[in-house]
Amino acid sequence: MLTLSTPSLPSHPPPLPATADTPVSRLRGAAARRDASLTSALHATLLKSGALHPAQPLAASNSLLHAYLQCGLLSRALCLLDETPRRDAATYTSLISAHCRLGAPLDAFRAFLDMLAWGAGQGEDDGAGQGEDDGAVRPNEFTAATLLQACGLARDDRLGRMVHGYLVAGGLCGDPFVVGSMVNMYAKVGDVMSARRLVLGLPSRDVVSWTAIISGCVLNGMLAEALEVFVMMLEDGILPNNVTMLSVIQACSLMGATELFRPVHAIVVLLDLQMTLLW
């Protein structure tokens, strides 16, 4: 069996390009198709080629980790992580996101805490997502988004506010992608006022941010608030999409407000939305 200690393995093998037809590029396809057997075969190829050597860039090990996680092979992904002496923000973002997909927000937070602890005191900067002084892995905007997703899954508003504070201190709240994820999180935990304040503070608002609040209101049984936010969205000049109208229809139905069905139907017809998805 080939391992990293194989005598024939060069100490500093040449890097594999990820743009050509390489094992690294094929891992993306394996991940997209959730092809576990191909992922395992490519793992062996990467070991043999030396692409998983600690001196190599993290593209190969991160792509392999992501593929295993996409295939639902969490135990194999964790084994690979244990064998990886270097990690970055992308490494942990894949893991946190996988725990969210599995509906395990607490495991996602454990992975985040492990990320914060990893490499502290090493004093080495390994690239993007690494600490400049202590070698610790720093979250990026994608890590922040997955962490906020975990807060929403946990339906824990206190935890969500703590993460919000951490992201403010880390200077990540200026990213529109992070703000959008924060809106979605607050909506899911039922803190509509905070979600609304964030949306109104955006320089440009879109249907996604407004719909996140409306859907969150419906999810938490705040049906009148959902319709109120829908009116605010229309007054803001933002037109709804299919997802928005599905939430509005659900709110009307749960309220028993049958008198609202006709005007809601008129909006659907006026905007030429896909009727088959709505009725």
pLDDT of amino acid 243: 94
Q: For the chain, what is the total number of helices (H) and then of strands (E)?
A: 15, 0
Q: What is the pLDDT along the chain (279 residues), one digit of tens a residue?
A: 333 333 343 334 444 444 557 888 899 999 999 999 999 999 999 999 999 998 899 999 999 999 999 999 999 999 999 998 899 999 999 999 999 999 999 999 999 999 999 866 454 444 445 554 456 789 999 999 999 999 999 999 999 999 999 999 999 998 889 999 999 999 999 999 999 999 999 888 899 999 999 999 999 999 999 999 999 999 999 999 999 999 999 999 999 999 999 999 999 999 888 655 545
Any domain includes 28: no
**Displacement of CA 76 from its chain's centroid (Å):** 21
179 and 212 Cβ atoms separated by less than 8 Å: no
The whole model's pTM is what?
0.81
Any domain includes 225: yes
Any domain includes 217: yes
Any domain includes 127: no
What is the count of structural domains for the chain?
1
Any domain includes 245: yes
pLDDT of amino acid 274: 64
Any domain includes 155: no
**Displacement of CA 42 from its chain's centroid (Å):** 25
Q: At what angle do helices 223-235 and 192-200 cross, to 10 degrees?
A: 10
pLDDT of amino acid 1: 33
The range of the structural domain enclosing residue 241 comes to 205-279
Any domain includes 277: yes
Helix, strand, or coil here: 235?
helix
Any domain includes 248: yes
